[in-house]
Structure 1
Amino acid sequence: MNATDRTPADLLRSALAADPARPLVTFYDDATGERVELSVATFANWVAKTANLLQDELGAEPGERLALLLPAHWQTAVWLLACSSVGVIADLDGDPAAADHVVAGPGRFDAGLACSGDRIALSLEPLGRRFRIPPAGYADYAVEVPSQGDRFAPYVPVDPDAPALAVSGLELTGAQLVERARADAETLGLAPGARLLTGRGYDSWEGVSAGLYAPLAAGGSVVLCRHLDRLDADGLAKRVESERVTATAD
């Protein structure tokens, strides 16, 4: 990654310039058997579309707060980078009543109604399927995002020293987030091309760093596993081998 990168969006742009075809996020849900692999280019396309949705359709502006009521998931990772692209503060498991926008998944829709602003619902079904009937008070992400543009440019340049992420009582600017992610990558032994397997949730800095930011900062990739505790030792060993995992943070 480039030493001049100061926001998560910068890290993604550098990854895209370096090798767009390599894997970036490989997601498993061991409760459903789902596996999704996104290259840097595919992930960046999802981020661009989501950032356009956030900026153009929801009217989000830098400094606004978006409560992310979602588990560790590839679509959560997309939303985190989309928020960074626009300059919106991504508040993981944040208070919807204090947020300008909310993005919620199954089990969190009632809580998200406390947000008086825009509300987006994710089904978290395989392949990002639509709801048959969206939850009351919400727009369906899977309906809204496909028509968005494949390229994104913020109306206002993102300030690296502005708040970017809130998680578990910690609030970080974009520059602080990148600095911490680089330090975590070093601690985890991640080098360019590394494959980190993690079963940590996105409810702490340690979880979201291992599950997205540290591999991105290192020029590596993440094998993000939800419900990893359902996998026995033999199954885990097979996954480590098949995914060419070089480091773990479970």
Structure 2
Amino acid sequence: MNASDRTPADLLRSALAADPGRPLITFYDDATGERVELSVATFANWVAKTANLLQGDLAAAPGDRLALLLPAHWQSAVWLMACHSVGVTVESGGDPAAADLVVTGPDTLEEARACTGERVALALRPLGGRFPQPPAGFVDYAVEVPGQGDRFVPFSPVDPDAPALAVDGAELSAAELVTRARAEAAALGLDAGARLLSARAYDTWAGLASGLYAPLASGGSVVLCRNLAQLADGGLEKRIESERVTQRAL
């Protein structure tokens, strides 16, 4: 990747310039049988649409704080990068009552109601499906995001030294996040073309690093697995073989 990249959004732009067609995230949910593969270009398109929703319809701005109440999921990765594109600070598993906005899955709707700002809900259904019945008081992400623009330009340039991510009781600037992502990639043995299988949750730095940031920083890709414990006996080794996995983070 480009050594001059100082924000996660820079990392994504470099990945897009280098090889837009290569896989970036391959997502499995072993509770539903879902498999979704996103190339760099497809992922970047989702990020652009979500960033436009965040900056435009939700009026989020640099310095705002967003509580992210989502599991390890390809749509969670999209929201992380959309926040980094706008300059919004993401608090993984943050307190909705103390946040300017909240993004939640279906299992934490009641907890998310404590946020007095904008509330966005994701059904986390296969193929990015919407809620059968939209939850009262929430924007249904799957309804709102398709009509957003495919190109995103922030109103203000993202400051690499501004807070970008709060996790594990620590706060990282965008530049610190990139530095730590590169260090994590090295520790995991990732390089360009590596395929890392991660079954870690997104509520810790280790989970976020293996599930998104380290593969992005290294030019690799991630096979992101949710509910891996429900995989049948022998299924993990078959997946590792079929997905050409080179490293694991279990």
Q: Same fold (TM over 0.5)?
A: yes
Which residue of 2 is the match for residue 118 of structure 1? 118
- Determine the C-alpha separation between the residues in 1 that align with 2:233 and 2:86: 41
Give the TM-score normalised by structure 1. 0.99
- Determine the C-alpha separation between the residues in 2 that align with 1:201 and 1:130: 23
SS of the residue 2:224 aligns to: strand
- Within 5 Å, give how 1:26-175 maps onto structure 2: 26-175=26-175
Which residue of 2 is the match for residue 16 of structure 1? 16
Which residue of 1 is the match for residue 190 of structure 2? 190
- Determine the C-alpha separation between the residues in 2 that align with 1:160 and 1:168: 20
Superposed displacement of residue 232, structure 1 = 4.4
Superposed displacement of residue 133, structure 1 = 1.3
Letter in 2 for 1:230: Q
- Determine the C-alpha separation between the residues in 2 that align with 1:119 and 1:168: 23
SS of the residue 1:35 aligns to: strand
- Determine the C-alpha separation between the residues in 1 that align with 2:231 and 2:179: 33
Superposed displacement of residue 132, structure 1 = 1.8
SS of the residue 2:172 aligns to: strand
Residues 78-126 of structure 1 deviation map (CA, whole Å, 9 limit, x = unaligned): 0000000000001111000110001110110001111010001100000
Letter in 2 for 1:179: T
Letter in 2 for 1:201: A
Superposed displacement of residue 168, structure 1 = 2.4
Residues 208-227 of structure 1 deviation map (CA, whole Å, 9 limit, x = unaligned): 00000000000000000001
Which residue of 1 is the match for residue 242 of structure 2? 242
**Stretch of structure 1 that moved more, 41-50 or 133-142:** 133-142
Superposed displacement of residue 248, structure 1 = 0.5
Superposed displacement of residue 136, structure 1 = 1.2
**Stretch of structure 1 that moved more, 77-86 or 134-143:** 134-143
- Determine the C-alpha separation between the residues in 2 that align with 1:132 and 1:30: 22
- Determine the C-alpha separation between the residues in 2 that align with 1:170 and 1:24: 27
Superposed displacement of residue 233, structure 1 = 5.0
Superposed displacement of residue 189, structure 1 = 0.4
Letter in 2 for 1:77: A
SS of the residue 2:106 aligns to: coil
**Stretch of structure 1 that moved more, 24-33 or 166-175:** 166-175
- Determine the C-alpha separation between the residues in 2 that align with 1:139 and 1:52: 14
Which residue of 2 is the match for residue 4 of structure 1? 4
Superposed displacement of residue 229, structure 1 = 1.6
- Determine the C-alpha separation between the residues in 1 that align with 2:61 and 2:54: 9
- Determine the C-alpha separation between the residues in 2 that align with 1:170 and 1:143: 34
Which of structure 1's runs of 4+ aligned residues deviate more than 6 A?
Answer: none
CA RMSD after TM alignment: 0.7
How many correspondences in the alignment? 250
- Percent same amino acid at aligned positions? 72
- Determine the C-alpha separation between the residues in 2 that align with 1:104 and 1:137: 12
SS of the residue 1:237 aligns to: helix
**Stretch of structure 1 that moved more, 223-232 or 3-12:** 223-232
- Determine the C-alpha separation between the residues in 1 that align with 2:137 and 2:168: 27
- Determine the C-alpha separation between the residues in 2 that align with 1:64 and 1:113: 18
